[in-house]
Amino acid sequence: MTESESPRRRRSRSRRRRRARLRRILLSTLVVGSLLLGVAGWVGFRGWQARAHLVNAAGLAGELSAQLVGGDTARAQRTLAALQVQSGAARRATEDPGWWLGRQAPYAGANLSAVRQIAIAIDDLARQAFPALLRVDLGGLVPREGRLDLAGLRVVSAELGKVDASVQRTRTDLAEVPGDRLVGQVRRALEDLRGEIDGLAAMTSAVDRASRLLPPLLGADGPRRYLLVSQNSAELRATGGMFGAYAVIEAERGRMKMGAQGASGSMGRFAKPLKISAELRALWGDLPGMYPADVNLSPHFPTAAALYREMYRRHSGATVDGVLAVDPVVLSYLLQATGPVRVPGGVSLTAENAVRTLLSDTYQRMGEKEQDTFFAAAAATVFDALFARNVNPNGLLSVFDRSIQERRILFWSARPEEQRTFGDSRMAGALPEQDTVPMVGVFLNDGSGAKLGYYLRQTADLTVGDCQPDGRRELSLRVTLRSTAPASGLSKSVLGLGQAGDPYTVRTLVSVYAPAGGAVLDTRLDGAETSVGTGTERRRQVATVNVEVGPGGTRTLEMSLLTGKTGSGAAELWLTPTATPWTTQVVTAPSCSQ
């Protein structure tokens, strides 16, 4: 080999090495590419399978819910078995190595992980919560022939505790799934499931608490006495209606009976007002501490109940252990479960006529004193029927769940340890000082001194708007009030004091409560700026507007609000329960991090 040939050979060997390295790179790229395409194809196929199983599972879960409420245990068992097949298949479709590999990808991984968590959540409910719920004898939660079986209730309570624990675990796990990098379809599925499980968790938590509290509340440890108060929706107050008639419920060792009955008007006026907070006095003066009919001008039910209990004590000399408030709509729901009842005067109350009879007909044909007696007797008769008749427990629990969700059943215990157990449940009626999701309250108080609330129709639309640099968020609220009252022909009892001037005009004080830590920015009535009363209650700014609506008329109130600091694009409405349900819409938005 010559000196001149050596460099050429070296260059030749170098070229061969580069070509070999290039071939290896190309081959490796081809292999990896083929593998990734194969994984993507496999994940896509498994994703299609998972979606199909999850859609089937969602339909079966809806059927199962209806069957549980209807008490069709045999069909519910078959539906549960089918649900477990579908949820298990969805879970398996999202747990193989290909799916795990796909979850490591920068963008698609977040979506695949979310689908995996959705499958796990549904399967956990199908295998843990729902079977335990089917084992529960719901009959142990309702009275039979005037008595609740306290021993049976403790057995039911143990099972319900397991159900609630399972649901709460699933809810917590699902809440930890990040939603800011998800495609629209997966994000909507996640949000929908969270909403469903939030509702289920609220129900199981409430039933669990109730099952644990019922024994002491019903006199397992000694006699108890409660005020059953009827909220009269014909004359609106923030929690539902004016506290009108009352009856005493006596409970001992699970047995319940009705005691004395009366009317709030009989307590008169308290010349020396009961003590109320400075915030409440700034909003409503001394009215809540002076008149039993005004204790619930505030939407915070514990305040109203405590005031009413003390007024009853000063009036009667008797002390009660708590206050239970219901409205005529609740009575109509209960009558669906008990069947019709006859009340004094030969009137038959049914699910169909109860609201009209109690909030309209009675005022047209009875004097004021007769009305109070009739209201007290009506509520007592319905509850007597509930205590005495053998009522389908599933139907009754459905009635209670609906009533509590609509905030038509409210309860306050005078014993702090029991009241703390109710916490922030809807039944407690406590206005929260902090928000998990920004909440706007729209509360109505009659300003006419009349019984025209029966004729009011109301809608509320809440739209989530832009994110602000300081971490807050804009909200737009639109409230519409429409009067269906006639222009003539109503009795003096209905027209009352006529403080709006025209006795047929409905005068309503609309109080809008901003989200906790938020603010009310501006207010318009029928498109024009209007005067507003302002104040605060429980860390919320309050804006109150006088809205007067003539017969057949409509008024529209619009407000711009700010939330406290939040990343959420969701929002909630809390509304005064009325004789005719509200029409509502909440338009959400993406979170501020998206």
Per-residue model confidence as pLDDT tens digits over 338-386? 899 998 777 899 999 999 999 999 888 887 667 777 887 888 888 888 7
Q: Which fold has domain 224-421?
A: Aminopeptidase (3.40.630)
What is the reported pLDDT for 35?
33
What are the tens digits of pLDDT across the range 293-321? Answer: 999 999 999 999 999 999 999 999 999 99
**Mean pLDDT (the chain, rounded):** 84
What is the reported pLDDT for 47?
52
Q: Does the pLDDT of residue 531 top 90, yes or no? A: yes
What are the tens digits of pLDDT across the range 236-266? Answer: 999 999 998 899 999 998 888 888 888 898 9
Q: How far is CA 342 from CA 377, 382, 390, in A?
A: 10, 9, 17
Residue 385, token pair as written in the block? 């029927």
Residues of the chain with CATH 2.60.40: 434-587
Q: Does the pLDDT of residue 444 top 90, yes or no? A: yes
What DSSP character marks residue 523?
E
Compute the distance between CA of residue 589 and CA of residue 570 in angstroms, rounded to an integer.
Answer: 7
Residue pair 476/465 in contact (Cβ under 8 Å)? The answer is yes
Compute the distance between CA of residue 302 and CA of residue 429 in angstroms, rounded to an integer.
Answer: 7
Report the Cα–Cα distance between both ends of the chain, in Å, rounded.
70
Lowest-confidence segment of 6-20, 170-184, 271-285, 401-415 by average pLDDT? 6-20
Picking from 229, 373, 225, the residue whose alpha carbon sits closest to that of residue 296 is: 229
Strand-pair category, 242-252 with 533-537: unpaired
Compute the average pLDDT of residues 582-587: 98
What are the tens digits of pLDDT across the range 167-186? Answer: 888 888 888 877 766 666 76
Lowest-confidence segment of 30-34, 69-73, 156-160 by average pLDDT? 30-34
What is the reported pLDDT for 27?
40
Compute the distance between CA of residue 94 and CA of residue 51 in angstroms, rounded to an integer.
Answer: 10
What are the tens digits of pLDDT across the range 37-82? Answer: 333 333 443 455 666 777 777 777 777 767 776 667 888 899 889 9
Residue pair 584/573 in contact (Cβ under 8 Å)? The answer is yes
Compute the distance between CA of residue 505 and CA of residue 487 in angstroms, rounded to an integer.
Answer: 9
What is the reported pLDDT for 18?
56
pTM, entire model: 0.80
What is the reported pLDDT for 536?
97
Q: How far is CA 241 from CA 216, 329, 388, in A?
A: 29, 11, 28
Q: What percent of the chain has pLDDT over 90?
A: 46
Compute the average pLDDT of residues 462-478: 95
Task: Give the pLDDT band (50/70/90) at residue 145.
Answer: low
pLDDT: which is higher, 142 or 567: 567
Task: Give the pLDDT band (50/70/90) at residue 22.
Answer: very low
Compute the distance between CA of residue 57 and CA of residue 55 in angstroms, rounded to an integer.
Answer: 5
What is the reported pLDDT for 31?
35
Task: Give the pLDDT band (50/70/90) at residue 188.
Answer: confident
pLDDT: which is higher, 458 or 50: 458
Identify each DSSP E strand in 428-562 by its residue range.
439-446, 456-467, 473-483, 506-513, 519-525, 528-529, 533-537, 540-549, 554-562
Residue pair 43/99 in contact (Cβ under 8 Å)? The answer is yes
What is the reported pLDDT for 174?
80
pLDDT: which is higher, 478 or 157: 478
Task: Give the pLDDT band (50/70/90) at residue 508.
Answer: very high
What is the reported pLDDT for 428?
93
Rounded CA Rg of the chain: 31
Task: Give the pLDDT band (50/70/90) at residue 506.
Answer: very high
Compute the distance between CA of residue 334 and CA of residue 398 in angstroms, rounded to an integer.
Answer: 10
Task: Give the pLDDT band (50/70/90) at residue 135.
Answer: confident
What is the reported pLDDT for 489?
93
Compute the distance between CA of residue 510 and CA of residue 235 in angstroms, rounded to an integer.
Answer: 14
Q: What percent of the chain has pLDDT over 70?
A: 84
pLDDT: which is higher, 474 or 111: 474
Task: Give the pLDDT band (50/70/90) at residue 110.
Answer: confident
Picking from 393, 326, 354, the residue whose alpha carbon sits closest to that of residue 144 is: 393
φ and ψ at 452, to 5 degrees?
-100, 0
Compute the distance between CA of residue 339 and CA of residue 336 in angstroms, rounded to an integer.
Answer: 6
pLDDT: which is higher, 241 or 216: 241
pLDDT: which is higher, 456 or 43: 456
Residue 500, token pair as written in the block? 């709006």
What is the reported pLDDT for 320?
98
Picking from 214, 184, 316, 329, the residue whose alpha carbon sits closest to that of residue 259 is: 316
Count CB-CB contacts under 10 A for residue 583.
11
Residue 135, token pair as written in the block? 């084992």
> Which DSSP string corresponds to 102-121?
HHTSTTHHHHHHHHHHHHHH
Residue pair 112/43 in contact (Cβ under 8 Å)? The answer is yes
Compute the distance between CA of residue 593 and CA of residue 187 in angstroms, rounded to an integer.
Answer: 14
Residue pair 566/531 in contact (Cβ under 8 Å)? The answer is no
Class at the top of the CATH hierarchy for domain 434-587: mainly beta
What are the tens digits of pLDDT across the range 489-505? Answer: 999 889 988 777 889 99
Residues of the chain with CATH 3.40.630: 224-421
Residue pair 390/145 in contact (Cβ under 8 Å)? The answer is yes
